[in-house]
Amino acid sequence: MALNDHRHMTGLSRREALQIGYSGLLGVGLPSVLAGRAAAGVAQPSHSRSPKTILIVFLTGAASHHDTFDMKPDAPREIRGEFNPIATSAPGVEICEHLPHLAARAHKYALVRTLSHSDNNHLMSTHHVLTGNLQPGAFFDKVASRDDWPCYSSALSYLRPRNDGIPSGVNLPYYLVEGPLTWPGQHAGFLGAKYDPWQIVGDPQKSDFRVDALTLAGGMTASRLGNRRALLGELDRQRRGMDETAQSRRLSDEQELAFSILTSSRLAEAFKLDMEPAAVRDRYGRHTTGQSLLLGRRLVEVGVPIVQVNIGRVQNWDSHGDIFPTLKGRLLPPLDQGVAALLDDLEALGKLDDTLVMMLGEFGRTPKLNAGNGRDHWGPCFFGLFAGAGVRGGQVIGKSDPIGAYPVTTAYSPNDVGATVYHLLGIPPEAEVRDRLGRPVQLNRGTPIGPLFTGALA
């Protein structure tokens, strides 16, 4: 038998196998995020506390604090707006009348009313909030680049790499991009593409929702995948003597993670929302917001350490005009229903103590209504809602001035939000990562928001 006619256990000749190549042999469409997640060689932090899970509810476009969680009923009409505050389950705490479910659960979360920074641009501010750092070389509408700081899950992946088929981060259901603008803060930045979180794009409320990265190609069974893996191994052994470069080793790591993810039943099951009882899905709401939050909860259950649920596309909450009918009719009801169900479920499942739920946007809105009966961008003062992971519920942290323009008590920056996230992940503040030139840089320089927690942060 001629050398090139030798046939392997999969039924392919050696020539055919080499012609098909690695990508064809895999037979799957995994995103580039999988590429080369080899161990970074960075020592894990030695913290006595067990790392927590983070679920970020990101209000894309920035919700108005005046009309939700920091209302000003005694201010003039052009400041206070059209909505009224209602009492909550936390004594003395009031929020918007169109958030009744969250009002009934105020004892489960804390409100920070003095988040603050100096930016009024969506892209720059999003980067700041989702990385805990100012965007390098920031200017108006500076798009994402590999000079940016890494988002939280990317830093976690770099500092605490894993190869068990569970990604360090999943973002859903929208990829934050509009025309030529890709929002910074949703990538690994200077750490490189191999540390990017998964980006799931698809509406979980739709009956045909599926995640292609977890679906085998047509006709491909787990058994056949195993056969192809055997052939890949044989090809690897043949090539190893010819090429021992770092690139070939990276490709091997990529293959291992691809197979691990594709055969990870835990992760695949998380995306099967039809396995949830109809009553549970109804509680979250049969809308994109509710079902996305339910999917976020299921990903937390299977061990994804950081999940980000984007509530709408890039400017969903960017209410420059007709803000009150937009909030009342489209935005607040599904958010209220979905987040309330999320908090209830995490508590019932015994997961809330180990999961930080963090809801915020990239900034607030202007105190004074504009000519279009809307509110414009406002970075100096905005809110964040925090629950679980040791957060002491039923409290308000910080106070803004009578028109909600500036903090009158301690202001907390997105750097402090980042420090809080990293602390709960078990990453010390002095942790270092390497920039694109290989230089060590301190990951975060904020201070954890201590009043959120019962007792001092350890």
- pLDDT, one tens digit per residue, over 218-276 is 555 666 656 666 666 665 666 555 555 545 555 555 555 556 555 567 788 899 999 99
Residue 207: its pLDDT value, please? 87
Residue 252: its pLDDT value, please? 54
Closest CA to 59 of 337, 291, 397, 359: 359
Do residues 304 and 295 lie in contact, with contact meaning Cβ atoms separated by under 8 Å?
no
Closest CA to 423 of 382, 391, 379, 380: 391
Structural tokens at position 253: 């790591």
Number of H helices, E strands in the chain: 13, 16
> How is residue 132 annotated by DSSP?
S
- Which string of b and e fits 149-162 if b means at least 16 CB within 10 Å? bbbbbbbbbbbbbb
Residue 324: its pLDDT value, please? 98
Do residues 124 and 414 lie in contact, with contact meaning Cβ atoms separated by under 8 Å?
no
Strands across the sheet containing 395-397:
198-199, 169-172, 306-310, 53-58, 355-360, 382-387, 109-115, 395-397
Q: Which residues of the chain have pLDDT under 70?
A: 1-49, 212-264, 455-458
Closest CA to 131 of 145, 148, 115, 144: 148
Question: Helix (H, G, I), strand (E, B), or coil: what is residue 154?
Answer: helix
Closest CA to 188 of 161, 154, 156, 158: 154
Do residues 198 and 165 lie in contact, with contact meaning Cβ atoms separated by under 8 Å?
no
Domain limits, CATH 3.40.720.10, in the chain: 50-211+275-452
Residue 420: its pLDDT value, please? 97
Cα 300 to Cα 84: distance, rounded to the nearest angstrom = 35
Predicted TM-score (pTM) of the model is 0.83
Mean pLDDT, rounded, of the chain: 85
Residue 172: its pLDDT value, please? 95
Question: Helix (H, G, I), strand (E, B), or coil: what is residue 421?
Answer: helix
Between the alpha carbon of residue 416 and those of residues 85, 130, 254, 442, the distances in Å are 29, 11, 35, 14
Residue 5: its pLDDT value, please? 43
Do residues 261 and 271 lie in contact, with contact meaning Cβ atoms separated by under 8 Å?
no
Residue 241: its pLDDT value, please? 56
Residue 44: its pLDDT value, please? 36
Question: CATH assignment of 50-211+275-452, given 3.40.720.10, 3.40.630.30, 2.70.70.10, 2.60.120.260?
Answer: 3.40.720.10
Q: How large is the angle between the packed helices 14-26 and 246-262, nearest 10 degrees?
A: 60
Report the alpha-carbon angle 342-344-340, nearest 5: 55
Residue 267: its pLDDT value, please? 85
Q: In this structure, what are the phi and psi dihedrals at residue 240, rounded to the nearest 5 degrees?
A: -60, -40
- In terms of DSSP bridges, do strands 395-397 and 109-115 run parallel, antiparallel, or are they unpaired? parallel
- In terms of DSSP bridges, do strands 364-365 and 377-378 run parallel, antiparallel, or are they unpaired? antiparallel
Cα 104 to Cα 112: distance, rounded to the nearest angstrom = 18
